[in-house]
Each structure stands twice: as structure tokens, then as C-alpha cells.
């Protein structure tokens, strides 16, 4: 029955008519309204239709209230019976001890709930199934956010109404823009001192580069925030406690406000008119009604227009909602907005896939060369967007299905590891709660139990009737992860062999979950080096490993991950490797030359070589002489020479740091006496010897330099502290300030958005001088600078004493730069 419905559903999506905005609308959905799938615990029924699925992420700056909002959603949807609180440390999504201890989200949590509640659904309709990802806000976990964004069909961006649009908000917004994820914005914390809905709306226009559509306005009574008013339906919501919410229909609201708050009543009419005017620029149907001077445009038409206008994910239109999650105000209307405005998987474009360097859409890739239809033997294609060691279930792999239906226990081929694995079941997750399900259909999110090798970012293919994966699909990858280079590291000395083995298992598991965590083991000293994206990233990774594995080892301090480089081209170094490898004798001769990669030539060099860890290796195998034809498998030799060159670059001669920004040119000597019955080990050993000889020669001639990570740093602080910060950056840290910006919304200028034309309702204290008003006028300044990471490692604590904690600082890797002068001598 389920399979029949899914097939029928797919055919409906194909046969639907195209709307004016270009997406399909099913012409006949009536057969599905009767079909309801009963979950195993019988607690609630959910529709199996793709149209009723929402894959949603929550993105924001750290401490904007993402986890608090998520907890309220779980409570109102009936998943939890009590409200989790970040300050009390009893949240559902932040269920790691360190997350509760620090009050931040460290890893994305996937949650499934249903909304609206069954009793609130109109007759004949079912609740929407909402798969929600609560992502981290801290910059060190940017990789975690970027892995989750591509699998989302929509996102809620949360803004702290006191601080406005912060630097990291702009960064995650830009990532969502890159993946064309439709978004709505929720202005949180409107109950706080200094909160300003007006300032937040203006900053949404100026900093997020889109047109804000104010869909709700705050309901103020004097200076108290008591509720929100939906200006599309004209409905008011007022809260007394978490469960005591009063809904006022338009007539009731007008009657109430006409006696108590006439200015708010007038503002509702202005807000609706300005919403229609703004929406008319982006939607033809609203423009037609607007030009016809229709004063009573129906709410349903406006909602459809908003849904259409954000569907492409271009960010030109930004619906804005208001609330205070901590006080429960506005969360339920926000959940309604997710169901009403954000798209379902059927309305999103086909996933982008990559085979080698070639990009295409998934549907095209599944057809294969010369075929007009998708390969019928491909049962499903899914992307692993998170591997996680669950407290109860063990290691589970979160997946999003992009094609077909993934059934439990179906053998899955991993196109990155090139291996086949059979999962032990499929789970639906509500953070720490789990439920077994039979299958995941296209567009759905769930977790596979029991995969031993799958890593975050891998692609899984299942085939019908045990057939093998065709050659053109064996290397297909859905948006493979792009991992930035590490900037911090520490060294670990395990006490004995048992501890070393435990640490290796722990690191293998941790890097499966988080590929941005890298490690290596020195076979001679048994010392481990762990590399990560920053101090907090390494702190968290070590904490998790210690909690799970109780490793007996000495952990060194977290240090900056310096690299080494060659400063000029080295002289060619000839290496002969003529020793038995694994009991087999053989001989390989090759020559290596190293030179620094100049700015701007990276792409040209990539055409002739392979890139790995910031270096490009070019292999030349002259096909001359009988020895080449008889002895060399060229592809195997090329791969092994590449492996040897990379191994040779792993430890530089000056600090034993990795080599970076280097082009390696290896030429295999194919003359008669230079090659004798070589194995793969002979090729890699010869290349490694040649590269290391070139590095030693460069070191002897003082041609090896040191590179350090430079961070693009955004510091927002009170104007009074800005001078101190700039002095610290330039005089003390050897960095340079790129720009200093006034963070007040009115100061932002952008040729795309005319701030003066944006509608933003007045705040209650705009017309009176109050303590709250005075607090909100303290000018904040944003300083953008490029600074060596070494100087910024502990700068956050130093800055806290200067600003009394009223600052925020985010860093992202920018580039590696040569260390010179007195700073090089200090190293």
C-alpha cells in the first residue's frame, strides 16, 4: 500500500501543471487526502505525502535563541511534556553534557515533529511532518552548518532583537544564499531591555540584502511585550503563560484596540498596506489586485504569493516574524509560518551531484550516457549529512533521501569509500528519543543504524534485487564536503600500547563524525597530532573522546597549526629506491623538484596535477623504452608516486610541520637500468625519498619559510572600546584593520535596498525618553581585520575585561601568510 501510494504520488508530481512562477502544482491530490500512515506507537497519524514534509534548519549567530525556540516547538507539538531550558541545562537537542555546561549548540541535532496538531487541522487534511535541524551558531562549527544546509528545503534565521543582525548571521545567511535555501526571519528576544523590532527589520534589509516583508508586528502595552499581531489574517495573539494564549479574531481585535490602543490599530492597517505594496513588486497576482485597487485582498492569496516569492531561495524577499521564545510569545505562529510558507521537497530543484570535476543534476546523472530514462534498477540515492554516536543507539548516520525509497536492511554502496554496507535498521529521531521505521521515501530525513564506515558527507546508493552499481554511478557524490584547512593542533602522548590503540579508535570514530577534525600518528614515537578548526573545536572534540573512551594519555596545549613552505625553486633531487618491500625486491628511480605556488596560478596548475592539503603534485611518466611497457602499470604507478610525494610533504625539515603552498614535480626515470620489477611500495618510497631530499637541500640553503594561519576577524564592541581593539590588532598582534563600520541600521548604505523605503513599525519607546530607550542608543562599532591566529587564540577573554562582556567576536580562516621579522625569530 505504501509503495503504491509513493509511485502514484510521483506520477502526480510529474503530471502537474506549471504555475506562472515555474513550479509544479499537482492537478489531483484527492486520492491522498484519505491515505494516512499510522506510526508504530499509535500516538499520531502522519501523511505519507511528500507535499506534507518540511525539511527545515534553524540558522543564527551564537546565543540568538535557536535551541530555546526549538525546545518550545517540541513542547507545543507534543514531543515533550515539559519545556527544556538552556540555562537549566535540561534541553532535548543540546543533550551532550558539554552543550548543557556551556549553553551552546555544538553539533546539529535532527528532530521530527508534526504540526499543526491533529485536532487543529481542517477536515480532510493531515499535519505537516517537520524534520528540523538545530545547527550550531559558533564559528568553529561552521563545517557542521555547511554540511546541513544543502539537505534543507527551507530555513528559519533567528535574530536577537537587542543585537540585530550580527557578523555570523551574515555568514550563515550567505551560505544559505549559496545553496539557494528559502528563508524566513524570526526576530527573537523582543521582551529584553534594548530590544528593537524596528532596528532589526532595517538591518535585515541593509545587511541581508533583501526586502523585508513584515508579516507580524509586536503587540506592545506601553513598554511590555505581550503578543504578536498577524497582519495578513488580521488576527491577534496575546500570551499570559506558556499555555494561556488568547486568540483575537479581526473583529474582536478591532473592538479591543479601539478603546485601549488606537495607535496600534492604525499601525495594523498601515502594515498590511505596506506588505501588499512590497509584495506587488515580486508577485504578479498581488500586483494585479493592487492595480485594481482592491482593498480586501484575501489572506490566502497573500500567503500563496509569499510562498512563491521565497521559493527560488534567492533571498530577494524576506518574510519577518516577531516573538520571544523564552516567554513563549510567537512560537506557535512561527510554526504555522513554517508550514504555510516554506517549500516541500517536491518544490525544490533537483540535487546537484559531482562525478570527478563534472557537475550535473541528479536526475541527469542517473540516466547515464545515451539514455533517456532514469535507471530503473537504482532503488535509492541518499546523502549522509551527519554521523553521530547516539547515547542509546550507538553510531547512527543521518541521511536525506534524494531519489527512490530507502528500505531497512537494503545493502548500500558508499560512493566515497567504494564499499558496500548493510544498515541494521532505520530510525526516526527526536533528539535523544528514537523510533524504528520501515523505510524513508524521497525527500525524507532519518537515521541508519549500524553503518561501520560511512562518514559525514558520503553518498549512498541502493540497487534493486542485489544488482551491482553501474560504473557511471560508482563515483557520484551529492555536494561533497569542502573542508577548510585546520588552524589549531595539539599533540597527545598515550601511556603504552593499549592507550595508543584506544586513542586511535577514538580518533577514527571522531573523524568519521566530523571530517574537519584530522589526526596523524608518528610510527616512531607513537605521538598523535590532532588538528581542528579552532580552540573551541578541539576542546569539544577532546572532551567528547575523554568522556566516551577514558584514554590514559598526556594531552599537550592547543597551539597554532603552522605550516612550512619553500621560498624558491629547489634544485632537482634524484632518488633511487632499491630495497625489498614486503619481501619483494625491486627498484624505482625518480627526480623531484619543488617550488612555491604563486598567487593566481593555482587553477592553471590543477589542470596538470592533483591537489591535496594545499599542495599540487604533477607526475610525469615518459613512455619510452621496453622497461616501461613491460614493467609499469601507468595508473598504479602514478597513484603510488602521488601517495609517496604527499607522505614526503607531511613533515617539513624546520619545525616538522606540514608543507603548504608547494608544487611538486616528480619525473619517473623509465630507462632500462632505472626500473626493475617495481611494486607499489617501491614507487611511493622513491617519491617520498626524492621529496624529502629536496626539502633537506632547501633547508640547508635557508630556502624554507614558516606560514601561519591568518583569520578574517569581525569584532563588534561599544564605540568606547573600539580604539583599544584597533591598537591591539595593529600594534600588538601584527594584523591590519580592513574596515570599521557603524552597526546602527540607518548607517548602512546599499544601492540594492533603499533603507528609507523599508516599512518597520515604530518601537514603543521611540517617542518617549526611557531607560530602555537610552540603553538601546549605545553605539556599537564593527571592526573587520585580518589578524594572525596566534594573537587571537585567547583574545576573547582579554576583550571581555575591556567591554564588560558587551562584545562579540567571530573568526574564519582567510589564508596562510609568511611569518617574518621578530615573530619568526620567536618561533
Position 222 pLDDT exceeds 90:
no
Q: What is the pLDDT averaged over residues 139-146?
A: 65
Q: How far apart are CA 435 and CA 39, in angstroms?
A: 9
Q: Return the closest-CA partner of residue 682 out of 593, 589, 617.
A: 589
pLDDT at position 216 over 80 = yes
496-526 confidence digits (pLDDT tens): 999 999 999 999 988 988 888 999 898 888 8
Model pLDDT, residue 744: 64
Is the pLDDT confidence value at 589 over 70?
A: yes
Q: What is the mean pLDDT of the chain?
A: 83
Pair 258, 266: CB distance under 8 Å: no
Question: At 405, is the pLDDT very low, low, confident or very high (cuts 50, 70, 90)?
Answer: very high
Q: Supply the pLDDT for residue 98.
A: 47
Q: What is the Cα–Cα distance from 400 to 426, expressed in whole angstroms?
A: 12
Asked if pLDDT for residue 143 goes beyond 70, the answer is no
pLDDT digits (tens, 9 = 90+) for 645-662: 999 999 999 998 899 999
Q: Please give the pLDDT value at position 321.
A: 98
Beta strand extents in 278-393 (DSSP E only): 317-322, 352-355, 358-361, 378-390
Grid cell digits, residue 99: 552543550
pLDDT band at 46 (very low <50, low <70, confident <90, very high): very low
pTM over 0.85: no
- Residue 524 CB-density burial (10 A; 0-12 exposed, 13-18 middle, 19+ buried): exposed
Query: Which set of grid coordinates corresponds to residue 471?
Result: 560504473
Of 649, 151, 543, 635, which is closest to residue 351 (Cα–Cα)?
151
pLDDT digits (tens, 9 = 90+) for 278-293: 999 999 999 999 999 9
Q: Which of 112-126, 148-162, 535-549 has the lowest mean pLDDT?
A: 535-549
Residue 60 has pLDDT above 90, yes or no: no
- 170 near 207, Cβ under 8 Å? yes
Q: Residue range 200-218: average pLDDT?
A: 94
Q: Is 664 left (phi over 0), alpha (psi -120 to 50) or beta?
A: beta
Grid cell 543540546 — which residue?
A: 94
**Beta-bridge mates of residue 679:** none
Please report which confidence band the pLDDT of residue 772 belongs to, taking 50, 70 and 90 as the band edges.
very low
What percent of the chain is modeled with pLDDT above 90?
47
Query: What value does the mean pLDDT take over residues 90-96?
Result: 47
Q: State the pLDDT confidence band at 594, using cuts at 50, 70 and 90.
A: very high
Q: pLDDT value at position 574? A: 94
- For 87, phi then psi, to 5°, come to -65, -35
b/e sequence 153-163, b meaning 16+ C-beta within 10 Å:
bbbbbbbbbbb
How many CB atoms neighbour CB 28 within 10 A?
Answer: 9
Query: Is there a contact between 556 and 542 (Cβ–Cβ < 8 Å)?
Result: no
Before 116, cis peptide (omega within 30)? yes
User: Residue 713: pLDDT above 60?
Assistant: yes
pLDDT at residue 456 in the model: 86
Mean pLDDT of 86-96: 48
Q: Is the dihedral of CA 634, 639, 644, 645 positive or negative?
A: positive
pLDDT at residue 690 tops 50: yes
Q: Confidence class of residue 85 from pLDDT cuts 50, 70 and 90?
A: low
DSSP string, 430-496: ETTEEEEESEEETT-EEEEE--SS--TT-EEEEEGGGPPPPGGGTT-EES---PPPP-EEEEEEESS
Model confidence pLDDT, tens digit, residues 321-353: 999 999 999 999 999 999 999 999 989 999 999
Tell me what pLDDT residue 370 has: 67
pLDDT of residue 49: 60
Top-confidence residue, 418 or 11: 418
Please give the Cα distance from 8 to 145 (Å, whole number): 35
Residue 476 has pLDDT above 60, yes or no: yes
Mean pLDDT of 709-713: 92
Domains and CATH numbers, the chain: 47-347 (3.40.50.300), 352-478 (2.40.30.10), 488-560 (3.30.70.870), 568-702 (3.30.230.10), 706-763+772-826 (3.30.70.240)
Cell numbers 592539503 label which residue?
613
Q: What's the whole-number mean pLDDT along residues 364-389?
A: 85
Q: What is the mean pLDDT of residues 483-491?
A: 87
Percent of the chain with pLDDT over 70: 85
Q: C-alpha grid cell for residue 746? A: 540607518
42 Cβ partners below 8 Å, 6+ apart? none
What's the pLDDT band for 61 if we cut at 50, 70, 90?
A: confident
Check whether 432 has a pLDDT greater than 50: yes
β-pairing, 154-160 vs 183-188, is parallel
Higher per-residue confidence, 709 vs 767: 709
What pLDDT is attached to residue 794? Answer: 81
Q: Which residue has the cell 554521523?
A: 387
Amino acid at each position: 500500500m505504501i509503495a503504491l501510494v509513493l509511485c502514484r504520488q510521483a506520477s502526480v508530481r510529474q503530471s502537474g501543471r506549471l504555475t506562472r512562477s515555474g513550479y509544479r502544482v499537482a492537478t489531483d491530490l484527492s486520492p491522498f487526502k484519505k491515505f494516512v500512515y499510522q506510526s508504530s506507537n499509535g500516538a499520531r497519524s502522519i501523511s505519507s505525502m511528500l507535499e506534507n514534509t518540511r525539511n527545515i534548519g534553524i540558522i543564527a549567530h551564537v546565543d540568538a535563541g535557536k535551541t530555546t525556540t526549538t525546545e518550545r516547538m517540541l513542547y507545543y507539538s507534543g514531543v515533550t511534556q515539559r519545556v527544556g531550558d538552556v540555562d537549566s541545562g535540561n534541553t532535548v537537542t543540546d543533550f551532550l553534557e558539554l552543550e548543557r555546561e556551556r549553553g551552546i549548540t555544538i553539533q546539529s541535532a535532527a528532530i521530527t515533529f508534526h504540526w499543526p496538531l491533529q485536532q487543529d487541522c481542517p477536515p480532510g487534511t493531515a499535519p505537516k511532518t517537520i524534520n528540523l535541524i538545530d545547527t550550531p551558531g559558533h564559528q568553529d562549527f561552521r563545517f557542521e552548518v555547511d554540511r546541513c544546509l544543502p539537505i534543507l528545503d527551507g530555513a528559519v534565521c533567528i535574530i536577537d532583537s537587542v543585537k540585530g543582525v550580527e557578523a555570523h548571521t551574515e555568514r550563515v545567511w550567505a551560505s544559505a544564499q549559496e545553496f539557494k535555501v528559502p528563508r524566513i526571519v524570526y526576530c527573537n528576544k523582543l521582551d529584553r531591555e534594548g530590544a528593537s523590532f524596528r532596528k532589526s527589520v532595517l538591518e535585515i534589509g541593509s545587511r541581508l540584502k533583501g526586502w523585508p516583508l513584515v508579516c507580524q508586528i509586536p503587540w506592545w502595552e506601553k513598554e511590555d511585550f505581550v503578543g504578536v499581531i498577524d497582519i495578513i489574517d488580521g488576527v491577534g495573539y496575546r500570551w499570559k503563560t506558556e499555555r494561556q494564549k488568547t486568540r483575537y479574531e479581526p473583529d474582536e481585535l478591532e473592538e479591543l484596540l479601539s478603546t485601549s490602543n488606537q495607535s496600534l490599530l492604525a499601525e495594523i492597517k498601515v502594515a498590511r498596506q505596506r506588505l501588499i505594496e512590497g509584495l506587488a513588486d515580486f508577485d504578479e497576482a498581488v500586483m494585479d489586485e493592487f492595480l485594481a485597487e482592491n482593498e480586501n485582498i484575501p489572506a490566502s492569496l497573500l500567503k500563496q504569493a509569499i510562498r512563491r516569492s521565497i521559493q527560488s531561495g534567492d533571498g530577494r524577499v524576506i518574510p519577518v516574524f516577531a516573538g520571544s521564545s523564552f516567554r513563549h510569545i510567537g512560537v506557535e505562529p512561527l510554526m504555522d509560518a513554517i508550514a504555510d510558507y516554506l517549500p516541500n521537497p517536491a518544490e525544490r530543484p533537483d540535487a546537484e551531484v559531482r562525478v570527478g570535476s563534472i557537475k550535473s543534476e541528479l536526475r541527469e546523472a542517473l540516466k547515464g550516457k545515451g539514455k533517456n530514462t532514469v535507471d530503473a534498477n537504482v532503488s535509492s540515492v541518499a546523502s549522509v549529512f551527519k554521523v553521530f554516536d547516539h547515547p542509546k543507539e550507538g553510531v547512527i548516520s543521518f541521511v536525506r533521501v534524494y531519489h527512490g525509497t530507502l528500505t531497512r536492511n537494503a545493502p548500500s554502496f558508499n560512493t566515497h569509500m567504494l564499499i558496500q554496507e548493510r544498515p541494521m535498521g532505520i530510525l526516526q529521531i527526536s533528539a535523544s528519543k528514537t523510533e524504528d521505521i520501515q523505510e524513508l521515501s524521497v525527500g525524507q530525513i532519518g537515521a541508519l543504524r549500524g553503518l561501520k564506515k560511512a562518514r559525514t558527507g558520503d553518498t549512498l546508493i541502493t540497487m534493486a534485487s542485489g544488482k551491482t552499481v553501474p560504473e557511471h554511478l560508482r563515483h557520484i557524490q551529492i555536494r561533497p564536503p569542502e573542508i577548510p584547512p585546520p588552524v589549531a593542533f595539539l599533540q597527545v602522548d598515550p601511556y603504552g600500547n593499549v592507550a595508543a590503540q584506544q586513542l586511535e579508535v577514538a580518533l577514527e570514530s571522531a573523524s568519521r563524525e566530523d571530517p574537519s577534525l584530522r589526526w596523524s600518528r608518528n610510527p616512531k614515537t607513537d605521538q598523535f597530532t590532532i588538528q581542528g578548526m579552532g580552540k573551541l573545536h578541539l576542546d569539544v572534540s577532546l572532551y567528547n573522546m575523554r568522556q566516551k573512551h577514558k584514554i590514559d594519555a598526556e594531552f599537550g596545549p592547543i597551539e597554532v597549526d603552522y605550516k612550512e613552505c619553500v621560498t624558491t625553486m629547489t634544485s632537482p633531487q634524484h632518488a633511487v629506491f632499491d630495497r625489498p618491500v614486503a619481501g619483494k625486491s625491486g627498484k624505482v628511480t625518480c627526480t623531484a623538484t619543488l617550488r612555491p605556488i604563486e598567487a593566481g596560478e593555482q587553477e592553471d596548475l590543477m589542470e596538470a596535477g592533483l591537489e591535496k592539503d594545499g599542495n599540487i603534485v604533477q607526475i610525469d611518466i615518459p613512455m619510452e623504452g621496453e622497461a616501461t611497457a613491460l614493467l609499469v602499470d601507468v595508473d598504479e604507478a602514478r597513484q603510488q608516486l602521488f601517495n609517496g610525494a604527499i607522505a614526503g610533504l607531511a613533515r617539513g625539515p624546520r619545525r616538522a610541520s606540514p608543507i603548504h603552498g608547494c608544487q611538486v614535480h616528480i619525473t619517473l626515470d623509465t630507462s632500462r637500468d632505472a626500473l626493475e620489477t617495481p611494486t607499489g611500495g617501491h614507487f611511493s618510497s622513491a617519491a617520498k625519498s626524492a621529496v624529502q631530499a629536496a626539502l633537506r637541500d632547501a633547508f640547508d640553503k635557508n630556502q624554507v619559510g614558516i606560514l601561519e594561519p591568518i583569520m578574517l576577524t569581525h569584532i563588534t564592541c561599544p564605540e568606547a572600546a573600539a580604539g583599544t581593539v584597533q591598537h591591539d590588532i595593529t600594534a600588538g598582534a601584527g594584523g591590519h584593520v580592513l574596515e570599521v563600520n557603524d552597526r546602527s541600521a540607518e548607517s548602512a548604505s546599499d544601492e540594492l535596498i533603499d533603507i528609507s523605503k523599508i516599512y518597520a513599525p515604530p518601537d514603543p519607546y521611540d517617542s518617549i525618553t526611557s531607560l530602555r530607550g537610552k540603553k538601546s542608543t549605545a553605539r556599537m562599532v564593527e571592526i573587520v581585520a585580518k589578524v594572525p591566529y596566534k594573537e587571537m587564540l585567547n583574545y576573547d577573554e582579554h576583550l571581555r575585561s575591556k567591554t564588560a562582556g558587551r562584545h562579540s567576536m567571530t573568526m574564519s580562516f582567510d589564508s596562510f601568510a609568511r611569518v617574518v621579522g621578530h615573530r619568526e625569530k620567536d618561533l
